[in-house]
Amino acid sequence: MGFNYYLKYVAQSSFYWSGKNIQLPRSSIIPLSTPIQIVVNDFFRWYGNPCTFSYSAVFWNFSRWEKEIDWMAMNGINLVYATTGMEYIFTKVFLRMGFTQSELDDYFTGPAFLAWHRMGNLQKHAGPLSRKWHESQFELAKKIIQRMTDIGIIPVLPAFTGFMPRSAPNLNSHTVISLNVTSHYYACDLFNEMTPPVSDLNYLADVNAGIFQTMKTVDPKAVWVMQAWLFLEDFWTPDRVESYLSKVPQGNLILLDLFSEAAPQYSRFQSFYGHFYIWNMLHDFGGNNYLFGSLVNVTNGPQAARDYSGSYMIGVGITMEGINQNEIMYEFALEQSWRAPLNDSELSEWLVNFVLRRYASKDAIPASALYAWQVLGNSVYQENPHGAHSLMLHRPALDKSQAIHFDLKSLFFAWELLVDASNELDSDLFRYDLVDITKEVLQYKFVMDYTQLIDAFNRSDLYGVSTQAAILVDILADMEIILASDRRFLLGNWISDALQFAINEEEIHFYNFNAKLQVSIWGTNYTLGLFDYASKFWSGMIQDYYAPRWYVFFDVLLKSLVEGHPIDNRVLNKRLFLEAELPFFMLDTKYYPTTTQGDSIMIARELFKKYRLSLSTIKMPRSSSKQQLPFKHYFN
């Protein structure tokens, strides 16, 4: 953590999921003029959400895990789930209890859905798991835990939740398998997005007491780590929450207030009635990679929790469902373990330093790049904690909309500034950001033109529908082109990581199916609520999944107008499933590249030239700061 501070604030260097920018001289280190002392406010820094291990980490090998663990340590993280490989242990336990292998094959989900299996939400979906998978994951788990322990991170091990295969023969309930590995911290969540069968207060107290007593019997030093996510459900009234937590001794339970930046639970339940808790920024759902965040909420939230009456807050953490997105938010959130809340001026200065270390080189950073991030910090990343699922990436329909929580003209202006900065910047991280912002502009341009498409359809304007459909097809093609130019936006990487576990043709199909199903319809054709929950702006997905759905939709609209009949949503959805969705996640013969195509900077410049006039109707705010910058702007 101290070394990371030195890298960031002395050496103007940075280390992210997307890459690194290290400016240390090879021959010597940069000396400190005076010693620096940073006081950490809390005991713990937390990383992860059960879903992170499916949406991001499910197909990692140890090399990738080692990189992530190093990133954790650099950011001061010292408490992390260690659930990888737990199915290996549970298989052994269940077999000794009397379950058959066939019953277990109907129990475990496929690898891409293990997070929800572990929390009791799913059985069998996209399974079963092979013996090779179990063994390889267990070996990986041992390496992960050893690396965490060596580097000072406490692994939070899985406890038994009571979830078992649906069949229950005469079981041997006294099965014990000892691995002689413990950290004394155990994860267990009983009612994740599930309503308890009864609301009786004694039942709620006793069920938790039983779980904790089991932990205590095995490990007298046991500390239970529990998500507070369940308390967002209406079922959980203050008296029920208090009863539920009442029989676990204070000091033996840590609650993860999972969504503290937007929906904190500590303030609803009297700081969890005397139990320890960790303030967390959840931010991301499903590993979606569109841009949003609330720097304001994150800078103010942790200190407000510390100051809350009767607070037992003992940490700050990040509980994203997926990584590889919005890196600014996670860097900022983890600094809250030692930072005081920032005012507007201090936040502006922090943004300047963020850009300097992200793009630092031997040359000066252009003013346009610095100002672009000021614009983003005051719009996309100001008070936008929820984001909005992308219309482009969701199943087409006549009644779609996309909430926009900031002024779009600010996003377009930031794009202009970064395109201008591309005349002087060429670093890997700058290219990543330029692609990231370009794809955001395109997705919002898509929303604007979709609205015009629906307006034309409602007017029975055949020419208007045809014209707008052609524009939307063009935007989809451009989105594929810009994403294909950067390695961090390739479906091929996700598929390639999954296929490393395959040893034959059958397993190639299995892992391909799991990888594609998760990022497409997620469940089945009958679970519409999960469709596109894990949507991604990835090259390959635009071309072979999202665009084909829109092509079907445009065809349905045009035929409706030509033939004079209303659209039947059941017929539309059937066509979408059979012609676009099913072929994507069932077809495993197509190769998706892991190498890029085209030059990101040149493509972004061409797209800016192409779209700047159609975006110029959005009036830009003027400020004295912008007038001082030495570049031309087009959105005026």
Which of 28-32, 363-367, 404-408, 555-559 is predicted least confidently?
Answer: 28-32
pLDDT, position 25: 80
pLDDT, position 623: 37
pLDDT, position 169: 61
CA angle 442-446-448, nearest 5°? 115
The enclosing H or E element of 435 equals: helix 428-458
Residue of 439, 449, 367 whose CA lies nearest to 617: 449
pLDDT, position 100: 94
pLDDT, position 180: 64
pLDDT digits (tens, 9 = 90+) for 283-336: 999 999 999 999 999 999 999 999 999 999 999 999 999 999 999 999 999 999
Q: What is d(CA 119, CA 602) in angstroms, rounded to the nearest whole number?
A: 46
pLDDT, position 363: 80
For residue 597, give both structure tokens: 């195509």
pLDDT, position 29: 81
Overall average pLDDT of the 524-547 stretch: 90
Residue 171 has pLDDT above 70, yes or no: no
Overall average pLDDT of the 63-87 stretch: 98
Q: Does the predicted TM-score (pTM) go above 0.85?
A: yes
Residue 525 has pLDDT above 80, yes or no: no
Confidence of residue 434 (pLDDT cuts 50, 70, 90): very high
The enclosing H or E element of 156 equals: strand 154-158
Q: What is d(CA 76, CA 55) in angstroms, rounded to the nearest whole number?
A: 23
pLDDT digits (tens, 9 = 90+) for 11-35: 999 999 999 999 888 777 888 889 9
pLDDT, position 388: 73
What does R_g of the chain's alpha carbons equal in angstroms?
26
pLDDT digits (tens, 9 = 90+) for 121-147: 999 999 999 999 999 999 999 999 999
pLDDT, position 620: 41
DSSP labels for 320-364? Answer: -S--SS-HHHHHHHHHTTTPPPP-HHHHHHHHHHHHHHHH--SSP
Confidence of residue 459 (pLDDT cuts 50, 70, 90): very high
Residue of 520, 552, 546 whose CA lies nearest to 533: 520
The crossing angle, in degrees rounded to 10, of helices 2-9 and 344-359 is: 90
- pLDDT, averaged across the chain: 93
pLDDT, position 635: 36
Name every residue whose Cβ is closer than 8 Å to that of residue 338 and which is 6 or more positions away in sequence.
38, 39, 40, 41
pLDDT digits (tens, 9 = 90+) for 592-633: 999 999 999 999 999 999 999 999 876 444 333 333 333 333
Residue 553 has pLDDT above 90, yes or no: yes
pLDDT digits (tens, 9 = 90+) for 202-241: 999 999 999 999 999 999 999 999 999 999 999 999 999 9
pLDDT, position 383: 81
Confidence of residue 365 (pLDDT cuts 50, 70, 90): very high
The crossing angle, in degrees rounded to 10, of helices 462-484 and 428-458 is: 170
CA angle 377-379-381, nearest 5°? 50
Which of 23-32, 80-89, 406-415 is predicted least confidently?
Answer: 23-32
pLDDT, position 80: 99
Q: For residue 632, is it left (φ>0), alpha (ψ between -120 and 50) or beta? A: beta
The enclosing H or E element of 44 equals: strand 44-47
Cα torsion for 374, 375, 377, 379, to the nearest 10°?
160
Top pLDDT among 85 and 362 is at 85
Top pLDDT among 45 and 1 is at 45
pLDDT, position 496: 98
DSSP 8-state code for residue 577: I
Task: Sort strands 20-21 and 14-15 into parallel, antiparallel or unpaired.
Answer: antiparallel
Top pLDDT among 305 and 166 is at 305
The domains found in the chain, sorted by start residue, are: 1-28+39-342 (3.20.20.80), 359-381+405-487+598-616 (no CATH)
The enclosing H or E element of 542 equals: none
